[in-house]
Amino acid sequence: MNRHAARAAPFIADEARMHWHDKAVWHVRSNRDRAVASVPEWEALREIAAQVKAHTMSHLADYLETFERNALRLGAHVHWAADAAEHNAIILSILEQRGVKRLVKSKSMLTEECQLNHFLEGHGIEVVDTDLGERIVQLAEETPSHIVLPAIHKKKEEIGTLFHHFLKTAAGASDPKYLTEAARGHLREKFLAAEVGLTGVNFAIAETGGFVVCTNEGNADLGTSLPRVHIACMGVEKIIPRAADLGVFLRLLARSATGQPITSFTSHFHGPRTGTELHLVIVDNGRSGILASEAHRRSLSCIRCGACMNTCPVFRRTGGHSYDATVPGPIGSVLAPARDAARYASLPFASSLCGSCTDVCPVKIDLHHQLFLWRQELSSQHLTPLVKRLASRVGSLVLQRPWLYSALGWLTRWFGRWLPRALLYPKFNAWGRHRELPPMPPESFRAQFRRRRA
Amino acid sequence: MALPELPTRGQRFEDPPAQFAQSLASVGGRCERSPNLAAVRTAVAALPTVLEASKVASLIPEVHAGNVPLEQIEDPHALADVDVAILRGDFAVAENGAVWVPGAALGRRQALPFITQHLVLVVEPMDVVHTLHEAYARLRFGGPGFGVFISGPSKTADIEQALVIGAHGARSTVVFLVG
Ligand code: SF4
């Protein structure tokens, strides 16, 4: 049942690689820090962003209706999908009705969540992810390991080998500039041949019916300004009330994500380009369930900047794939159990509860608190391992009784040094797997404290 | 919970155009100041990207005549071989090096600023706001249309965090602030 730890084991086993990953991700966190420090009103912006999101979530149905009305007025088609299956079916029917076979996609974690690629490929559609990182993982038949940096787990040599195979780059070449240039050439052809462009949505503006897509590569723009059909997929939580709210969110987003002051391209789509079609697919897929939960509602405020994963000591050392969820890291560990508590029960425990995620979150989601809440809920639903539950029960019993605590402390101090290893480090003691107990001290902390004060 | 009031202004910069130039440089772009369009014309003609270009698409005839018949282009795919695109931006944002490019001027050629190999943006008359708060205070999204903030060239860091300029879109972005 200890899924995260089990999945992380092979990643951790290669220690050099683990440190490399840790450093790469931390580098992004450091860039974020520098960018944040340059904005004196950062904390005020976070507060406003959190309030705008909280307000929007408490009026979500109204804002969604307003958004739909305005989007229709602008000439867009609006489709509602209750779940992933409906989302995929809607997109397939748009493609089939137009007899279309070639689709280019820019980054959309929602379509990952719905496993759209596999579904469409099963129906004979060519789906090309155009974000470089996503294209890399697509060619490698993997999933993104990070929501902003999909291929951060891959070394350039591995990408070189992959590109050598698929894009005919020189054998052994691993220079990022060379590889990016090769991908540029390869994807240009795909852009020019595409019949439909699919994008995600970063922000959907209720009052205008428009939406904003942010990329650094410009792939969303190339993917939508050439073909005659643009499909934009969004979760219901992407709504913001006013265009002016973008002033707050866009100042926060890229700085939190990569430390840039804004993404290279921040495109505002209001209705279809002349002579083309625009389809908006608005997806629930479990979000209304989270919305209904007072305790977890705040997790819907996420703007997918990735800062919480970049700062997370567990994410950095275990890699995104160890979470086995579309969104990894702290926010993923909060969202996933809401989707399937039994399957993702180990994720809220993949945290030291240090609170760093909460500190960096631009929309002030109380992430470590959310993780802690999940731990309690999962334990009470008996979805955590028995050993963990028993240990917590014993811990609680002991910590509530000072006399028992001192007595056990005394016993351990005296007998601990003679106990055989098999008893001190039994199989179920996960904590002892990589750690040695310190030498037993001659007296307890309380005794020392009393003596020194005297 | 009520919808909070938004800030109408954020941090202020002593010299917004200078800050814009600095922000743009930090994202891999370049800013040039010019007294008038004639000066921009001279500067653009001397850009290495323009000197080497075989196809220049210009929406500002005063700056460059261009040799791509933009008016006649119906299908954006015809823009695939544009080397340099020269177009107007409405205003610039000091804090992040972005220029607002409205889609209205592009029309069916919306692909132009993205498909071109190199991009030249001209903001005339020079108009630089401090932060995005002021930017959104002036943008109006009444009807259908497209608009984009462009901050420097296209880039990626998807291979081992190494910054590479020129992912899919423009390999270079030069912004002229005029006046
Ligand atoms: S939870 Fe916060 S920090 Fe994490 S990705 Fe979402 S917005 Fe960013």
* CB proximity list for A304: less than 8 A, separation 6 or greater: A109, A147, A148, A202, A327
Give the ranges where chain B is alpha helix by DSSP (H).
16-26, 37-45, 48-52, 112-115, 132-138
CATH number, domain of B118, equals 3.40.50.10420
Alpha carbon dihedral B30, B33, B37, B41, in 10-degree steps, equals -50
Q: Say if residue B108's pLDDT is above 60.
A: yes
Q: Which amino acid is at A71?
A: A
Q: Residue B177: is it exposed, middle or buried by C-beta count within 10 angstroms (0-12/13-18/19+)?
A: buried
Percent of chain B beyond pLDDT 90?
A: 90
Contact (CB<8Å) A271/B157: no
Q: CB neighbours of B83 closer than 8 A, spacing ≥ 6? A: B49, B52, B53, B54, B55, B56, B116, B117, B118
CA dist., res. B7 & res. A233, Å (int)? 30
Q: Residue A151's CB: how many other CB atoms inside 10 A?
A: 27
Interface contact flag, B170 A265, Cβ < 8 Å: no
Residue numbers of B between 87 and 126 with CB closer than 8 Å to A:
93, 95-98, 103, 107-108, 110-111, 113-115
Phi and psi based region of residue A355 (left: phi greater than 0; alpha: psi -120 to 50; beta: remaining): left
Answer for the pair B151, A254: CB distance below 8 angstroms, yes or no: no
Taking an 8 Å cut-off on Cβ atoms, the answer to whether A176 and B164 are in contact is: yes
Residues 6 or more apart in contact with residue A256 via CB below 8 angstroms: A32, A36, A305, A306, A307, A360, A361, A362
CB spacing of A273 vs B156 below 8 angstroms: no
CB A164 within 8 A of CB A173: yes
Phi, psi angles (nearest 5°) of residue A19: -65, -35
Distances (CA, A) of B51 to A77, B45, B54, B56, B64: 45, 7, 8, 10, 12
pLDDT tier at B9 (50, 70, 90 boundaries)?
confident
Mutate to test the interface with A, among B8, B77, B81, B160 (most CBs of A within 10 A): B160
SS (H, E, C) A123-178: CCCEEEECCHHHHHHHHCCCCCCCCCCCCCCCCHHHHHHHHHHHHCCCCCCCCHHH
| Gyration radius of chain B over CA positions | 17
Sheet of A102-105: strand order equals A77-81, A277-283, A229-235, A196-199, A102-105, A126-129
User: What whole-number distance in Å separates Cα of residue A86 and Cα of residue A108?
Assistant: 17
3 state DSSP class of A93? helix
Cα A450 to middle of ligand 1, angstroms? 46
Report domain extents, chain A. 4-10+289-380, 39-285, 401-453
Range of the domain at B153: 16-68+77-178
| Alpha-carbon torsion, ordered A321, A322, A323, A324, to 10 deg | 60
Ligand 1, atom 3: nearest CA belongs to which residue?
A: A361
What pLDDT does A1 receive? Answer: 44
* Residue B117 within a domain: yes
What chain B residue is nearest to A106 in terms of C-alpha separation?
B168
pLDDT of res. A2: 59
Choose the closest CB to A243 out of B93, B131, B141: B141
Residue B18, pLDDT above cutoff 70: yes
- For residue A309, give the ligand 1 atom closest to its CA: 4
Cβ-contact B6, A244 below 8 angstroms = yes
> Which of A247-256, A384-393, B11-20, B51-60 bottoms out in mean pLDDT, i.e. has the lowest?
A384-393
Q: Does residue A169 contact residue A176 with C-beta atoms inside 8 Å?
A: no
pLDDT of residue A419: 83
d(CA A18, CA A13): 8
Q: Nearest chain B Cα to A243, which residue?
A: B136
Q: Which stretches of chain A score pLDDT less than 50? A: 1
| b/e burial code for range A214-225 (CB count within 10 A of at least 16 → b) | bbbbbbbbbbbb
The superfamily CATH assigns to domain A4-10+289-380 is Alpha-helical ferredoxin (1.10.1060.10)
pLDDT for res A223 = 96
Report the first-to-last Cα separation within chain B, whole angstroms: 46
Q: Which residues on A lie below 8 Å from B115 (Cβ)?
A: 222, 225-226
Count: domains in chain B = 1
Q: Nearest-CA distance from A294 to chain B in Å? A: 14
Scan for tokens 């309380």, then name that residue: A446
Angle at A341 between CA A337 and CA A345, to 5 degrees: 80
What confidence score (pLDDT) does residue A35 get? Answer: 97
Contact status of B144 with chain A (Cβ, < 8 Å): yes
Q: Which residue of A has its CA nearest to B80?
A: A192
User: Please, which residues 43-72 of chain B have a Cβ atom closer than 8 Å to chain A?
Assistant: none
Residues lining ligand 1, CB < 6 A? A 256, 302-308, 331, 360-363, 365, 367
A-chain residue closest to B20, CA distance: A261
Nearest residue (by CA) to ligand 1, atom 4, is A308
What's the pLDDT score for residue A433?
Answer: 80
| pLDDT tens profile A133-189 | 999 999 999 999 999 999 999 999 999 999 999 999 999 999 999 999 999 999 999
Model confidence over A45-75: pLDDT tens digits?
999 999 999 999 999 999 999 999 999 999 9
Q: What are the Cα distances from residue A105, in Å, to A43, A83, A426?
A: 35, 20, 50
ipTM, two decimals? 0.97
Residues of chain B positioned with their CB less than 8 A from the CB of A44: 7
Position A416 scores a pLDDT of 80
Q: Which of A207, A269, A197 is nearest to B144 (CA)?
A: A269
Task: Compute the Cα dihedral for B66, B155, B101, B17 and give only its sign.
Answer: negative
Query: What is the rounded distance in angstroms from the CA atom of residue A58 to the CA atom of residue A54?
Result: 6
Give the total residue count for chain B: 179
Question: Which residues from chain B sit within 8 angstroms of residue A130, using beta carbons?
Answer: 168
Pairwise CA distance, residues B145 & B142, whole Å: 9
Nearest CB among A28, A55, A150 relative to B3 is that of A55
Handedness of CA A248, A254, A259, A265 (dihedral sign): negative
- Cα–Cα distance for residue pair A302/A304, rounded to 1 Å: 6
Q: DSSP characters for A220-236?
A: HHHHHHSSSEEEEEEEG
Tell me the CA–centroid distance for residue B85 and ligand 1, in Å.
Answer: 37
Which fold would CATH assign to domain A39-285?
Answer: Rossmann fold (3.40.50)
- State the pairing for strand pair B98-102/B145-150: antiparallel
